[in-house]
Structure formats: C-alpha cells, structure tokens
Amino acid sequence: MTQAVIEVGARLRYDGRAWTLAVLEGARATLVSDEGASAVVLLPHLFADPSFEVEGGPAPGRVPPFGLLEALPVDVRERALVWQRHVREVETGFPNATGQGAPREQLAPLGVGVTIVEPGYFRTDFLDSSSLHAARTPIADHGGGPAAAMRETAQRVNHGQPGDPAKTARVIVEVVDSGRAPLRLQLGADSVGSVERKLASVREELDAWRTVSVSTNHDDAAA
C-alpha cells in the first residue's frame, strides 16, 4: 500500500482543520493553520486523528496513541508498568542549566526514578533521509557554522557510527533493572569523551572567572 509522505511544507488536515507542516523534529511536528494558529503534535497523535490526511496522497495507517499496553501478554504488561515508574529521557549534549538533579528529587517522593540517557552516535537510520530531514535550500548565513558542520557530519558518519543499538538496549534494561540506575548515563565512548571535554571546559572557565563570580555577594555574606 502506498503511504503518504509528510515533509516540511506539506499541506494536511488535522483536528478538522487545514494546516501546513512548518517543522519536523524527531517525533514532533509543528503545524501552522491558515488562520495563523500553531500547534506542536506528536506524530502518533497526528496519524491517529480521524480527520488526518495529506493533500495529494493517502493517509498513513492509523497509530493508536493510547491503550497500547492492554494488547500485551499479562506478564509483559506488568513489567512494562514497572518500567513506567522509571522515567527514561534521551538527550544529546550537555545542559546549560544547573540543578540537574531536580527531576529526580521532585519525582522520588512519588516512587518514580529518573535516568537521562546521553548517547553518542549509534549505527541506525537516524542520520539518513528516512529519518533526518534537511532544508532543500540551506540558509547562506549558516554556511561554515554549526548547522553546516552538522549537515556534513551526518553525511560522513551515516551508517558508520561506532555505537551498537542492540548492546545499548540491553544496557539500558540492565541498568534500570539493577535498582541503582544513575541520574545520567553516557552510552558510547564518544559520549564519554564529549562529556569529559565539556566538564574540563566548564572547570577551566569556572576557575578563570571565579573571582568575578563570587564578587557579587553582599559584603556581610559568607563567602
């Protein structure tokens, strides 16, 4: 069966209204209506909407966003429900904000664990055209900057990434099941190296500006 292809600029219907797909980022789509309204929608919700269709093509098969666990065998469902009590977030890079333990501290009284997975490059289709969508016409001002570097990196490392997805999945399961999962878990030697370089950079800058940083206290405040 021919499936509809959605890409930036596509015209589609969702929630009974006409929209233009403005941004496609991972599993999230940013839609802009003809009236100027905007909405950010997860793709499973978009595809599951009864009114969803793409102009010029058939709609993808419906993906129910809720009730997926009920179809699983009882023992599998029970384990999945246990996993629901441990939040697993995947992010790239190093956060700029302080207080990185806040999610764990806020959710611990509710019996919910938190682990933030910081992966390196893993050998999947994530960087090829089936997943990564780049602008057809790059913005000239981005030439030579991070955007251009990312575009070049994606082409260079695609399907040659060092990380093994199967090993990664096993490690995540083992770490969560261990009962002592860390707040942050780097996966891949490249991720470990990236975090080590970032920590060294932050330490160097902190030491260089320490005198200025602590000079803003009241005179009667303890150092």
For the chain, the domains span: 1-66, 70-124+161-208
pTM metric for this prediction? 0.53
Confidence grade of residue 136 (pLDDT, cut at 50, 70, 90): confident
Q: State the pLDDT at residue 14.
A: 87
CA distances from 199 to 6, 93, 184 (A): 40, 12, 14
38: tokens are 């905007």
Mean pLDDT is highest, among 35-49, 50-64, 67-81, 115-129, for: 115-129
Geometric angle at alpha carbon 114, from 112 and 118, rounded to 5°: 165
Q: How many C-beta atoms surround the C-beta of residue 205 within 10 A?
A: 10
Write the pLDDT tens digit of every residue in 196-212.
999 999 999 999 999 99
